[in-house]
Structures are given as C-alpha cells and as structure tokens.
Amino acid sequence: MTGPHRAAVLGSPIAHSLSPVLHRAAYTALGLDGWSYDRFETDEAALPGFVEGLDSSWAGLSLTMPLKRAVIPLLDEISETASSVEAVNTVVLTADGRRVGDNTDIPGMIAALRERGVEKTESAAVLGAGATASSALAALSEICTGTVTAYVRSRERGDQMRGWGERLGVDVRIADWAEAEQALRAPLVIATTPAGATDALTGSVPKAPGTLFDVLYEPWPTGLAAAWAARGGAVVGGLDLLVHQAVLQVEQMTGRTPAPLAAMRQAGEQALAAR
C-alpha cells in the first residue's frame, strides 16, 4: 500500500495504552512505511466530532473504555460478534467511506486460550461483571459445554450477567463475590476485575489449579496470577489478549494477513519491561 494511512486508539484515560506499540511493531514487520498509529484522549462527548473529522487517509480506529458502546450509533454497520455484546473495539474505514464496527476482544480471548491448549472446557468461572465479563461470556459460548458461574458484588450486576447469558446462549449461574474463592476450583477461571480486586484470593488457589485467564497486563503478574503459576497452573495474561485482539485489528485495517504475532508480542513485552 502506498500513501499515508492513519490509525489510532481512542479512549479515556488512554496514556497507558500499549496499542500504539503493538500496531507500530506490526507496520514495521510488514514493511508498511506509510502507516502511522497514534493515541488520542477522547471521551464520549468528544467522540462524534472526532469520528466526523476523519478524512480518507484514515484506515481504522481501536476503541477502549468508555467508547465501546458510545461509538455504535456513529457506524454504518457492525458485525454479529460486536452486536452480540453491544460493544465495538474496532472500526474499519472502508474505501467507499463506510464505518464498519467489530469486536476483536472475543475472538482474541478464544485465540489466547487456544494458544495455551484450552480448546474446550466443561465449566468455567468468571470473576467480575463489567464490559470485559460480557466479552468473556461470548467467548465461553463457543468453548464451554456446561455452566459458567459468575461471581459478582451486587444483585444488579448479577441480573446483567444473567441477561447476557440468556442472550448469548450460556448457562450462567450467579454467585456472591463473598464466595469467590470457590471460583478457583473451576477448570477455567477468567478474572475480569480491576487491579487489586483478586488479591485476597491468592491464599485460596487450589493445589492443582486449572487455567487462569487474568485480563490485566499492568501490573503483571497480578498476585493471583503469581500464586496460580506457583501452584503449577496455566496462566493466560492480559498481554496475550491484547496481542491477539490487536493482530485481528491489524489484519482488518491493513488487509495484510497474517499479522506478525511474535513481533507484536515482543514489542509489548519490551514496552512493559521498560515501565
């Protein structure tokens, strides 16, 4: 591809985002000299103006919180995957000016788990009930053959997760956060909580744990991930998710496949080590 091509990640706060590191590493590895990828602090109020101001040099956008739902009314089309959780983290700007939304978090989760040998699971536990938890349920709808137990802090959150389960075709059981140590006995545990939220569970990791997918990448390892690994359990981290979803974004925005997974992961690891 010739000529300038622009892409960026939008969100608030955004200064911590590793997306520029990953995408730029991909452009370098693919020899896309005319491509640039930036970050812009953008909240829900500023988003419509930003999107309307994009010219033909723009190839795509990555979206993080709080924009994954706010962007939907601004798009011409969204994928079934994005529609299933009402969340868009990827916008591709087509040559004819259309804005197409997708969600690469869900297939990114599945790919990250598959990379660690998790193709199917008989049951699973989800810690938390935010936007990432709904994406986790969508991923589990494809790989979990039994019940998913969601550990939440309020009845309202429980109702939300139960609703997502019904929509996604997942058998969801709701449990109180006070029982969260029980979650660690599941063959697959997906932690979608903020930093520090699972620290109190580190002493409850079983002697022979299954697989932990902790979606945080900074700070890393989390206390729970470190305790899990010390017990010999398999750990999938937030950087794994970030890289796999970014691989899909690069492929959609540039039209080049496959995206350079190894180069992108190495760039992310180096950037985190330097912080």
Q: Enumerate the active-site residues.
A: 68
Task: Please write the tens of the pLDDT for every residue from 122-155.
Answer: 999 999 998 899 999 999 999 999 999 999 999 9
Could you give the percent of the chain with pLDDT greater than 70?
A: 99
Indicate whether 34 and 123 sit together in one domain: no
Domain count, the chain: 2
Indicate whether 113 and 151 sit together in one domain: yes
Question: What CATH code is carried by the domain that includes residue 188?
Answer: 3.40.50.720
Q: Say how many C-beta atoms besides its own lie within 10 A of residue 86's C-beta.
A: 15
Indicate whether 157 and 188 sit together in one domain: yes
Which pLDDT does position 3 carry in this prediction? 66
The Cα–Cα gap between 273 and 190 comes to 24
* Residue (of 19, 226, 246) closest to 111 by Cα position: 246
Question: What CATH code is carried by the domain that includes residue 251?
Answer: 3.40.50.10860
Element (H, E) at 226: helix 223-230
Indicate whether 55 and 114 sit together in one domain: no
The Cα–Cα gap between 13 and 124 comes to 31
Indicate whether 230 and 120 sit together in one domain: yes
Indicate whether 98 and 116 sit together in one domain: no
Indicate whether 16 and 50 sit together in one domain: yes
User: For residue 97, is it left (φ>0), alpha (ψ between -120 and 50) or beta?
Assistant: left
Indicate whether 41 and 153 sit together in one domain: no
Burial class (CB in 10 A: 0-12, 13-18, 19+), 258: exposed
Indicate whether 114 and 197 sit together in one domain: yes
Eight-class DSSP state of 74: G
Name the token pair of 60: 């795509």
Indicate whether 112 and 232 sit together in one domain: yes
Indicate whether 123 and 227 sit together in one domain: yes
Can you give the residue range of the structural domain that contains 215?
107-236
Indicate whether 115 and 185 sit together in one domain: yes
Name the token pair of 124: 């699973």
Which pLDDT does position 2 carry in this prediction? 53
Mapped onto helix, strand or coil, the DSSP state of residue 23 is helix
Task: Please write the tens of the pLDDT for every residue from 2-54.
Answer: 568 999 999 999 999 999 999 999 999 999 999 999 999 999 999 999 999 99
